[in-house]
């Protein structure tokens, strides 16, 4: 993914170091030496496999029907098919719905958790009794292991017979004299909202933490001055707080989006992509294609398409991060 880094080459400010003219080759390598182990390790572990994925994406390869050609000694494929797998990716119904589900899941989760996170951050920016404790309790959903929280939602909250949601509905109905409240099978009836709700619960604290830090970084003297000049709370929020918060909102949105595009745990644990393929997103679809359908070529092509999609999002993300970064180093 070196392409993403390259787009920033021109924008980057010169390094803040005075480089004496005629710096020797040797001293330059002395500077580079501490960097090299990390750089080489990262390239080997992250870039090389991706190049291999690109290679496999041009092959017809199913390990259950092994061919007679060896691919780098890793296994035997049937034939070289050029871009055929990509044609499949773009025409296959399942994959197209996986793309749409990925977008729905990401936009839904990030959008809702951002709004909730902003609301909570504004509430927690005020002093009130027990604020420290409230903040601690609010972080908890983000610290629960994602697989554990997905299973918790599926079984302890959504379950139609003994889940907390139906149990609470039932208790409220009984309070008003009914025999039994309505039973809602959340996961089967509303699969996508169920997954999104569980993820929103998990990601709202993340948004809240970054946005709260942003609110607390507001220069108090400016707020004070605005208040002295007679600006009311709404105006201060609209003209001072929001512009100040813009970069924090962008940062949390984009970091959240990067993680949720790659989301696997909740889909795997709550719905297994179902019913049918109603909640199958790209990572889960690729996982199935790789390990159940065993279509290596097709899975790799889908992987490459996912990466390209992510690069598009990531380019925006990098622009935001680099603006924060440069501001700090200028």
Partner 1 sequence: MSAQTTETPKSGTILNRRKKKSAQGEGDLAETGGFVWTTTAWVLTLIFFAPVAWMFLTSFHSEADAATNPPTLLAGFTLDNYSALFDRGVGPFLINSATASIVSTLLVLALAIPAAYALSIKPVEKWTDVMFFFLSTKFLPSIAALLPIYLLVQKIGGLDNIWILVVLYTAMNLPIAIWMLQSFLAEVPKEIMEAAEVDGAGTLRVIWSVIVPIITPGIAATSLICFIFSWNEFLLAKSLTAVAASTSPVFLVGFITSEGLFLAKLCAAATLVSLPVLIAGFAAQDKLVRGLSLGAVK
What binding mask, one character per residue, do residues 190-229 give for partner 1 by CB under 8 A, x or -? -----------x--xxx--xx-xxx-xx------------
Determine phi and psi for 69, rounding to 5 degrees: -105, 135
What binding mask, one character per residue, do residues 280-319 give for partner 1 by CB under 8 A, x or -? --xx--xx--xx----x--xx--xx-xx--xx-xx--xx-
Residue 269 touching partner 1 (CB under 8 A):
yes
Residue 26 touching partner 1 (CB under 8 A):
no
Decide: 317 and 257 in contact? Cβ < 8 Å.
Answer: yes
Which residues have a Cβ under 8 Å from the Cβ of 309 and sit 6 or more positions away? 99, 261, 282
How many residues sit in the footprint of partner 1 (CB under 8 A)? 126
Q: How far is the CB of 68 from partner 1 (least distance, A)?
A: 18
Q: How far is the CB of 220 from partner 1 (least distance, A)?
A: 9
Which residues have a Cβ under 8 Å from the Cβ of 115 and sit 6 or more positions away? none
Residue 202's closest CA among 246, 145, 154?
Answer: 145
Q: How far is the CB of 191 from partner 1 (least distance, A)?
A: 19
Q: How far is the CB of 244 from partner 1 (least distance, A)?
A: 13
Q: How far is the CB of 252 from partner 1 (least distance, A)?
A: 8
Residue 242's closest CA among 253, 254, 234?
Answer: 234
Question: How long, in residues, is the chain?
Answer: 330
Out of 84, 268, 278, 293, the only residue in the binding site for partner 1 (CB under 8 A) is 268
Out of 192, 255, 274, 278, the only residue in the binding site for partner 1 (CB under 8 A) is 255
As a whole number of angstroms, the distance between CA 226 and CA 113 comes to 30
Binders in 68-87 for partner 1, by CB under 8 A: 73-75
Out of 87, 131, 235, 238, the only residue in the binding site for partner 1 (CB under 8 A) is 131
Binders in 90-119 for partner 1, by CB under 8 A: 119
Per the rule left: phi > 0, alpha: psi between -120 and 50, beta: everything else, 327 is: alpha
As a whole number of angstroms, the distance between CA 78 and CA 63 comes to 9
Determine phi and psi for 80, rounding to 5 degrees: -85, 125
Q: How far is the CB of 25 from partner 1 (least distance, A)?
A: 12
As a whole number of angstroms, the distance between CA 241 and CA 143 comes to 29
Residue number with CB closer to partner 1 (13 or 222): 13
Out of 99, 196, 199, 261, the only residue in the binding site for partner 1 (CB under 8 A) is 261
Alpha carbon separation from 139 to 90, 121, 144, 247 (Å, rounded): 40, 12, 9, 22
Binders in 132-171 for partner 1, by CB under 8 A: 132, 134-149, 151-153, 155-157, 159, 161-162, 164, 166-168, 170-171
Stretch that binds partner 1, among 40-48, 91-99, 103-111, 188-196 (CB under 8 A): 40-48
List the end-to-end C-alpha distance of the chain, in Å, as a whole number: 27
Q: How far is the CB of 23 from partner 1 (least distance, A)?
A: 9
According to DSSP, residue 258 is labeled: H
Binders in 46-65 for partner 1, by CB under 8 A: 46-50, 52-53, 56
Residue 127 touching partner 1 (CB under 8 A):
yes
Q: How far is the CB of 192 from partner 1 (least distance, A)?
A: 19
Q: Which residue has the tokens 């970091």?
A: 255
């Amino acid at each position: 993914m070196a392409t993403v880094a390259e787009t920033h080459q021109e924008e980057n400010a010169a390094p803040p170091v005075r480089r004496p003219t005629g710096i020797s080759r040797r001293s330059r390598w002395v500077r580079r030496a501490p960097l090299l182990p990390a750089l080489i390790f990262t390239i080997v572990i992250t870039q090389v496999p991706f190049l291999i994925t690109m290679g496999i994406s041009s092959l017809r390869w199913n390990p259950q029907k092994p061919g007679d050609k060896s691919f780098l000694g890793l296994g035997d494929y049937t034939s070289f098919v050029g871009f055929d797998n990509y044609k499949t990716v773009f025409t296959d119904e399942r994959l197209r719905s996986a793309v749409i589900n990925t977008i729905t899941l990401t936009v839904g989760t990030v959008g809702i958790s951002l709004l909730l996170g902003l609301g909570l951050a504004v509430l927690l920016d005020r002093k009130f009794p027990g604020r420290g404790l409230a903040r601690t309790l609010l972080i908890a959903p983000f610290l629960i292991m994602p697989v554990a929280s997905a299973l918790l939602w599926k079984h302890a909250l959504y379950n139609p017979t003994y889940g907390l949601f139906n149990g609470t509905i039932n208790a409220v109905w009984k309070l008003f004299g009914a025999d039994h409240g309505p039973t809602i099978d959340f996961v089967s009836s509303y699969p996508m909202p169920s997954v999104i709700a569980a993820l929103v619960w998990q990601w709202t604290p993340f948004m809240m933490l970054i946005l709260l830090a942003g609110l607390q970084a507001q220069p108090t003297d400016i707020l004070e001055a605005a208040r002295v000049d007679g600006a009311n709370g709404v105006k201060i929020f609209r003209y001072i707080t929001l512009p100040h918060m813009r970069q924090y909102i962008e940062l949390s949105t984009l970091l959240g989006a990067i993680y949720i595009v790659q989301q696997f745990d909740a889909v795997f644990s709550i719905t297994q992509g179902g019913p049918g393929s109603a909640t199958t997103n790209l990572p889960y679809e690729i996982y199935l294609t790789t390990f159940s359908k065993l279509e290596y070529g097709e899975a790799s092509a889908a992987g490459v398409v996912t990466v390209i999609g992510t690069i598009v999002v990531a380019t925006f993300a990098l622009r935001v991060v680099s603006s924060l970064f440069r501001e700090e180093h200028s």
